[in-house]
Each structure stands twice: as structure tokens, then as C-alpha cells.
Amino acid sequence: MRSYSMGQAAALLGVSAETVRRWADGGRLRMERDGTGNRTVEGTALAAFAEERAAGRHPVPDGVATSVRNSFAGIVTAVRLDDVAAQVEIQSGPHRLVSLVTRESVAELGIEVGVLVTARVKSTNVHVDVP
């Protein structure tokens, strides 16, 4: 099974290596030592921890039924308006999302730079690459 270094785990979780060390020292994230004595985290343990951390972060409001499962909470970093359309850029952790919506929607929702939003993505095409 694949193992990850402290730095790799930190990058995947979007936190500092020091935060991962604190979680390990506090017993929240199970670490092991490799043959050279460096701390590592096993891939399935890291995946489970990432899911646990994300649980409840992007809840769907009560009374709303949706099939959308991919949610990204973030801050609006740019809004470009045209006569009819608008391009909204969102920074969600290390992820940059760009959405094309109507100018009317931007106005109705009060979307502007600095506003906290949740982008919900439904896609029929998801590409997965392996390094």
C-alpha cells in the first residue's frame, strides 16, 4: 500500500506539515515510521482522515434536495461582467474554480470579490490522472 511523507500528507490535506505533526502527536492521525525513521501515513488511513475532516464542511441547506455531491466552499477572487454573462472565480483551498453564470444571478446573489460562496459541481465527465 502507498505511504505518504508528512509533507505529502500536508499538501494533500491543504495544511502545513506542522499541523500534520500535531494531529499525529495528538492521536488524530495514525503515523508509522519507515525504514529510515521518518514518519509516514498509510494511504487508506490518509484517505479516511481526509473524508472525516471534510464531513459536514459543505452541507446542503435543510429542505433542499440535490443530487450534487461535489461542493467547494471558497472566497470569490474575481468577477468579470459582460452584458448578459459573468465569470466568477473562486479560491477554495488550493483549488481555483471558474464559473460562468448570468449577470442577473451575480446581482441577485450579491456575488462580489471577498464574498464567501459554495460552488456545487455536477459533471458527467471527470478525468482521473495518475502520476
| Residues 54-70: tens digit of each pLDDT | 776 666 667 777 777 78
| Alpha-carbon dihedral sign for residues 12, 99, 80, 118 | negative
Instruction: Record the pTM.
Output: 0.63
CATH class of 70-121: mainly beta
Q: Looking at residue 59, what DSSP letter applies?
A: P
Does domain 3-54 fall under CATH 1.10.1660.10? My reply is yes
Domain locations along the chain: 3-54, 70-121
What is the tens place of the pLDDT at every residue in 76-120?
999 999 999 999 999 887 789 999 999 999 999 999 999 988 888
